[in-house]
Amino acid sequence: MMRFNHVANRIDGRHFDTVAAMLTEKLGFVQLRRTERSAWFRQPGAYVDLQLSRSDTSHRDADKLRSQVSFLSETPRAALEDLAAWAQTRGLEASVGSYSEREFYLDAPEAFVDFVIEAMTPDLADYDAEGKQ
């Protein structure tokens, strides 16, 4: 059987270092490995890694709101607004939107090619991790 290892998302190469810094400085990720075109990160306590891949794509996925790197937070909107403010101080346009009153997303359209960062309340992830119904 195969074991799940990581998820990869594309970042515009011009903003790669800023997004990498957001993960380490604001979200506590540790950089595990870096090559010329990619970097792998893990948040302590997590079991799946996030890979960021540099992209030269000049267009953005029109449906990228359906593809998220997701986090749990008791205050999801405030957490994402903090990230948006951090990004804006570094010259990166960022805004927060919502899917519902408990699910929010951060988009940095110049940087995120095919995803957004989602934050949702922990109760939305209250399911059996063993897959039992």
105 in helix, strand or coil? Answer: strand
Distance separating alpha carbons of residues 98 and 72, to the nearest angstrom: 14
Does the structure show a pLDDT above 80 at 7?
yes
Each residue of 15-70: pLDDT tens digit?
A: 999 999 999 999 999 999 999 999 999 999 988 999 999 999 878 878 898 999 99
Cα(132)–Cα(63) distance, rounded to whole angstroms?
Answer: 31
Between residues 22 and 129, the one the model is more confident about:
22
pLDDT value at 131 more than 80: no
Assess whether pLDDT exceeds 60 at residue 133: no
pTM score > 0.85 for this model? yes
Q: How many CA atoms lie within 13 A of 51 on its CB side?
A: 13
Higher per-residue confidence, 59 vs 112? 112
- For residue range 63-97, what is the model confidence (pLDDT) as tens digits? 898 999 999 999 999 999 999 999 999 999 999 99
Catalogue all structural domains in the chain, each as residue range(s) with its CATH number.
6-125 (3.10.180.10)
The helices-and-strands tally (H runs, E runs) of the chain is 3, 8
Q: Which residues contact 23 (CB under 8 A, 6 or more apart)?
A: 29, 31, 41, 50, 52
Q: Are strands 38-42 and 49-55 parallel, antiparallel or unpaired?
A: antiparallel
